[in-house]
Amino acid sequence: MCSLSNQPFHYQGQAVLTLRQIDRMNGVIKGSAFRAFKRVADTLIEGEDYFVLAMDELKTRSADPALNALHAAMLSADALYPSSRVVVLITQTAYARLQRAANLSSS
Amino acid sequence: MMTLIEWLRPWEPSAPVFIACVLAIGLYAAGMMRGARPGFWAALAFCLGVGLIYGVTQTHYDYYSQYLFSAHRLQHLALHHLGPFLIALSMPSAVLAAGLPSGVRQLPARNGLVGFFKLLRGVYRVIQQPVIAAVLFVGLIYFWLTPSIHFDAMLSIDRYWLMNWTMALDGLLFWWLMFERGDQGATPRLTPGQRILILALIMPPQIALGAYITFSGQNLFDIYAVCGRAFPIDPMLDQQIGGLITWIPASMMSVVAALVILAFRLEKSNEQA
């Protein structure tokens, strides 16, 4: 597996990971990172700990080159589940909480 | 390819669900060992009902329920309709009571607890009033399928379990009211006609909701798009299958229940003849 695909992306000045990257990094099945996210969702703040981007927006937006670049980078790193219509980006702080909630590895 | 062990492993382990299922089967078995004779079909129905509830919540099936709308609707068909239907059909109260330790059986008669159990019985009789029971039965389906509420329920583990527990408990209450027979207990005793009328009245709202979901031109439940569905499937197809499950088998359960009630009535008539 390409190690580059698990490199964090940068969004709004923060290093972020997609749910697919977290699943892959931990060698767990699709949905495991989202399950951990659901366990701690009440303690996280959207816009600080995680970001939610609509895939349709990502696909169509051209006015924001940074977002276009992020989308292209995520696609090339195979960091998105094909059936997802929403991208959840997890910051390092939130990932630490996910790890505690689900015993995910710290790799 | 998943192994059987992996399939049987819970996706989201829940101690209360595990304990409730083990306790139910354990008490039933203890009751039978103490002389209760429910009969083969009743015992089978009870075990199947509990097994179904366990199977859709404490195996890998729960994974699909959380990542596919159609699987979620099947899960609730088992939790709200099929599982409780089979349990209530088996009328297990006498067997379960026989399985209880004698100290627990005598609790309602104990001095300090008489008031508590009287209150509990009163609350139970209120929620088992036919109109309330029917409104609760249909209302809960509508409530948890309200898109914004459904989104929140599927996004929080606590609310997810609250949803599943309320569906299972309400299903038990409703089908218990429908199939109550034998000695008069705390459950209001309805005539067969009243029971069939209730069963007929709860059908149209379920049909309407199922049809609305099936024929809706928009994706109503976008929570399943957050992480992506369990396997690649068109979101609208997933929603349509879920709508059909809400519509047809759920409503058919009313017809099956009405036939069961008629069979009980005929059986009683034959006994009296």
Amino acid occupying residue B15: A
Cβ neighbours around B57 below 10 Å, total: 26
Cβ proximity of B116 and B122 under 8 Å: no
Query: Based on C-alpha coordinates, what's the Rg of chain A?
Result: 13
Domain ranges of chain B: 10-272
Residue given tokens 């940074």 in the structure block: A66
Q: Which residue has the tokens 């159990």?
A: B117
Comparing CA positions, the residue from A70, A82, A86 lying closest to residue A16 is A70
Residue of chain A with shortest Cα separation from B221: A85
Q: Which of A32, A83, A84, A103 to mutate to test the interface with B (most CBs of B within 10 A)?
A: A83
On whether any CB of chain A is under 8 Å from the CB of B155, the answer is: yes
Chain B's closest residue to A44, CA to CA, is B156
A41 and B CB contact within 8 Å: yes
On whether any CB of chain B is under 8 Å from the CB of A94, the answer is no
Q: How far is A25 from chain B (nearest CA, A)?
A: 16
> Which residue, B29, B168, B196, is CA-closest to B87?
B168
Among A32, A51, A47, CA closest to A98 = A32
Q: How many residues does chain B have?
A: 273
Q: Which residue has the tokens 């994974």?
A: B63
Q: For residue A2, what pLDDT band results from cuts at 50, 70 and 90? A: very low
Kindly determine whether residue B225 and residue A84, on different chains, have CB atoms separated by under 8 Å.
Answer: yes
What integer pLDDT is reported at residue A5 of this predicted model? 63
| pLDDT attached to residue B196 | 97
In A, residues 69-88, which contact B (CB 8 Å cutoff)?
Answer: 81-86, 88
Q: Is B151 on the interface with A (CB under 8 A)?
A: no
Contact A30/B230, CB-based, under 8 Å? yes
Q: Please judge whether A30 and B66 are an interchain contact, meaning their C-beta atoms are less than 8 angstroms apart.
A: no
Quote the DSSP letter at residue B34: T
Q: Which residues of A touch B226 (CB under 8 A)?
A: 34, 52, 84-86, 88
| pLDDT band with cut points at 50, 70 and 90 for residue A3 | very low
Q: Which residues pair with B84 in a beta bridge?
A: none
- Per-residue pLDDT of A45-89, as tens digits, reads 999 999 998 877 777 766 778 888 888 899 999 999 887 888 999
User: Cα–Cα distance between A31 and B70 in angstroms, integer?
Assistant: 17
Helix (H) or strand (E) holding B147, with range, is helix B147-155
User: What DSSP assignment string belongs to A7-39?
Assistant: SPEEETTEEEEEHHHHHHHTT--TTHHHHHHHH
pTM of the entire predicted model: 0.87
- A4: confidence class by pLDDT, cuts 50, 70, 90: very low
Q: Do A31 and B12 touch (CB under 8 A)?
A: no
Provide the terminal-to-terminal Cα distance of chain B, rounded to the nearest Å: 59
Q: Does A101 touch chain B (CB under 8 A)?
A: no
Chain A closest-CA separation from residue B155 CA (Å):
5
> Is residue A11 within 8 angstroms of chain B, CB to CB?
no
Q: Take residue B188 and report the two structure tokens written for it.
A: 């209001």
Mean pLDDT of A93-101: 89
* Chosen from A34, A37, A38 to mutate, greatest number of chain B CBs within 10 A: A38
Tokens linked to B173: 């209450």
What ipTM was reported for this prediction?
0.72
Q: Which residues of chain B have pLDDT under 70?
A: none
Chain A residues touching residue B160 (CB < 8 angstroms): 38
* C-alpha to C-alpha distance for B143 and B152, rounded to whole angstroms: 12
In order, the DSSP letters of B68-135 are -HHHHHHHHIIIIIIHHHHHHHT--HHHHHHHS-HHHHTGGGSGGGHHHHHHHHHHHHHHTSHHHHHH
- Report CA dihedral (B266, B132, B210, B59) to the nearest 10 degrees: -80
Q: How far is CA B252 from the centre of its chain?
A: 15
